């Protein structure tokens, strides 16, 4: 017997001696993957899961900011290289160094239980630990906090959008259509 552990379904067994065992395994893998495609709530991207030992240094719409800037409580570059966690189950839609004031950027798409989708954007990363097209579960490490190649002191810029595939953008704007307040969204969707 082969056993697969799935939190949602409990323990499942497949009789490997059956001629159609391969089909059963493929179906089980698809079922498990489909389970992880839908979000099961949102957590903060630092200080897993509640931003412990971090603070929001510049919140949404403070100085027209389109996201939240998460800093370690030690200040300066004390959080350089700290882990960045996926805020929810989802897939990586973009992961590359675009240089300039953004540095390394990760974008993820999250399928919500109500059939809506949101996108999270993590910027100024020191490293990217995921690849485009990869499915990630909530709380998995996707990168590390950086400085956008020395442009800033270390911090994580997080945006949450309810319109997918918007341009990376300026990070600041009076126009907020398509952008959500990250802290409010996470707190209201735990």
Residue 147 is part of a domain; what is its CATH number? Answer: 2.70.70.10
Do 57 and 116 lie in one domain? The reply is yes
- 32 CB contacts (<8 Å, ≥6 apart)? 4, 6, 9
Position 3 pLDDT exceeds 70: no
Q: Would you say 73 and 93 are in contact if contact means Cβ atoms under 8 Å apart?
A: no
**Domain range enclosing 14:** 2-37
The reply to whether 139 falls in a domain is yes
Alpha-carbon distance of 144 to 122, in angstroms, equals 10
Do 102 and 12 lie in one domain? The reply is no
| Percent composition of the chain: helix, strand, coil (DSSP 3-state, to 5) | 15, 35, 45
Do 135 and 92 lie in one domain? The reply is yes
Do 61 and 17 lie in one domain? The reply is no
In angstroms, the Cα distances linking 17 to 6, 10, 14, 30, 71 are: 22, 22, 9, 21, 54
Residue 29 backbone zone (phi > 0: left; psi -120 to 50: alpha; other: beta): alpha
The structural domain count of the chain equals 2
Do 10 and 104 lie in one domain? The reply is no
Position 121 pLDDT exceeds 90: yes
Q: Would you say 3 and 16 are in contact if contact means Cβ atoms under 8 Å apart?
A: no
Q: Which residues pair with 1 in a beta bridge?
A: none
Do 33 and 69 lie in one domain? The reply is no
- Nearest CA to 120 among 146, 148, 86, 153? 86
The reply to whether 13 falls in a domain is yes
The reply to whether 42 falls in a domain is no
Position 83 pLDDT exceeds 90: yes
Do 24 and 66 lie in one domain? The reply is no
Do 92 and 165 lie in one domain? The reply is yes
2-6, 158-162, 164-168, 169-173: range with lowest mean pLDDT? 2-6
Mean pLDDT of the chain, nearest integer: 88
Q: Which residues pair with 3 in a beta bridge?
A: 13
Do 85 and 12 lie in one domain? The reply is no
Do 161 and 82 lie in one domain? The reply is yes
Average pLDDT of 16-41?
A: 67
The reply to whether 119 falls in a domain is yes
Do 122 and 33 lie in one domain? The reply is no
The reply to whether 154 falls in a domain is yes
Do 55 and 139 lie in one domain? The reply is yes
The reply to whether 52 falls in a domain is yes
């Amino acid at each position: 017997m082969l056993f697969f552990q799935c939190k949602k379904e409990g323990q499942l067994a497949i009789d490997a001696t059956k001629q159609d065992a391969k089909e059963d395994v493929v179906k089980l893998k698809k079922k498990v993957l489909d389970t992880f495609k839908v979000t099961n709530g949102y957590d903060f991207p630092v200080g897993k899961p509640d931003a412990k030992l971090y603070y929001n240094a510049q919140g949404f719409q403070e100085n027209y900011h389109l996201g939240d800037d998460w800093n370690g409580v030690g200040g300066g570059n004390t959080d350089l290289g700290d882990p960045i966690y996926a805020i929810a189950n989802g897939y990586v839609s973009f992961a590359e160094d675009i240089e300039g004031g953004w540095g390394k950027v990760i974008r993820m798409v999250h399928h919500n239980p109500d059939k809506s989708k949101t996108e999270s954007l993590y910027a100024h990363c020191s490293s990217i630990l995921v690849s485009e097209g990869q499915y990630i579960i909530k709380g998995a490490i996707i990168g590390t906090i950086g400085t956008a190649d020395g442009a800033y002191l270390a911090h994580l810029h997080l945006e949450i959008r309810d319109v997918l595939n918007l341009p990376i953008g300026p990070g600041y704007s009076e126009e907020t259509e398509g952008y959500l307040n990250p802290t409010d969204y996470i707190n209201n969707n735990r």
